[in-house]
A and B are shown apart, each in its own frame.
Chain A
């Protein structure tokens, strides 16, 4: 049955204030059931407070073969890391 169903990517917000994070995918016949399937598969142990699903076919991805020109230039730019700043203790999730 699941072979007839499109694939949906699942994103979960683990708690308020955090962003949605990709956790995996589910098969489902439509978006509403995709949310329910995501709930039943990925939030059984209180992992989330919010769910997003998106059709896998709607995701536009970077080309793995272009990984070199895409990502390697950033390797030598250590000064882009914010490690040169003092972060106050009250700032979380940075």
Chain B
């Protein structure tokens, strides 16, 4: 007597079809996927918060040309945030869109890294933050262009050119301020010193991202670190600047443990849509 095979259930057939890419059609609405939602918040919030910070320079930059440079970068970042947060809303499938996620979410629910929420300080400090962030973001987006999730790949492909410009422009300024006057050099050193403690967090992996890396959706951030270090050293050498010593790294943004600065930033950013929820412009 031959061994009996298990009875094939209809759901098994559907599963087999999915695996083989047979007659299975992806549903229009994306399945609710908490890890993917959280990952999109991380990507979107990094861009959103830094974009908002940069717009604080509008009308206050040391020169009209720099005013426009910083505003352009800020607008690029807010554009990226719009794409990521809209997609996050789609993935969540609970009726929230990008605006809702940006303007009607409380500080503990933000998933940006701590670096982007830090105050602008002087121009050198802003440039230090931009250089560190954009150099990391460039490598990240270059990886995300190959993501299995086509909509993430699409957003990254569009943004990667913008980010390359941000990384190059901020590197140029690091070099000019570092290799400039005694005062600009000191300010550049101070700016890098201040932000150095927030670098590690940008490359931190947790279980959530590791799962998404295994699924081919996310990029392993630890793999980006070596290229980042090489680029930073290269620019600082050209800027004749010392490599800052690593202080104890501060982290927590990815799980909602933010510095006191983020609440103030959100108060400014969210005030209008929260006070006048139906306002349009």
**Contact-residue size bin, chain B (C-beta under 8 Å from the other chain):** 10 to 19
Contact indicator A2/B65 (Cβ below 8 Å): yes
* Cβ distance B131 to chain A, nearest Cβ, rounded Å: 14
Q: Which residues of A contact B172 (CB under 8 A)?
A: 32-33, 36
Q: Which residues of B contact A29 (CB under 8 A)?
A: 176
State A83–B280 Cα separation when bound (angstroms). 53
How many A residues touch B, CB cutoff 8 Å?
15
Contact indicator A2/B63 (Cβ below 8 Å): yes
A1 is an interface residue with CB less than 8 A from chain B: yes
State A33–B173 Cα separation when bound (angstroms). 9
B64 is an interface residue with CB less than 8 A from chain A: yes
Q: Assess A27 versus B72: contact at CB under 8 Å? Given A33-B176, A36-B172.
A: no
Stretch at the interface among A37-45, A56-64, A70-78: A37-45
Contact indicator A37/B62 (Cβ below 8 Å): no
A51 is an interface residue with CB less than 8 A from chain B: no
B residues 187-219 near A (Cβ < 8 Å) are: none
B residues 36-92 near A (Cβ < 8 Å) are: 62-66, 68-69, 72
Q: Which residues of A contact B66 (CB under 8 A)?
A: 1
* Cβ distance A34 to chain B, nearest Cβ, rounded Å: 9
- Of the candidates A1, A26, A28, A44, the one whose C-beta lies within 8 Å of that of B62 is A1
**Which residues of B approach A to under 8 Å, CB–CB?**
62-66, 68-69, 72, 169, 172, 176
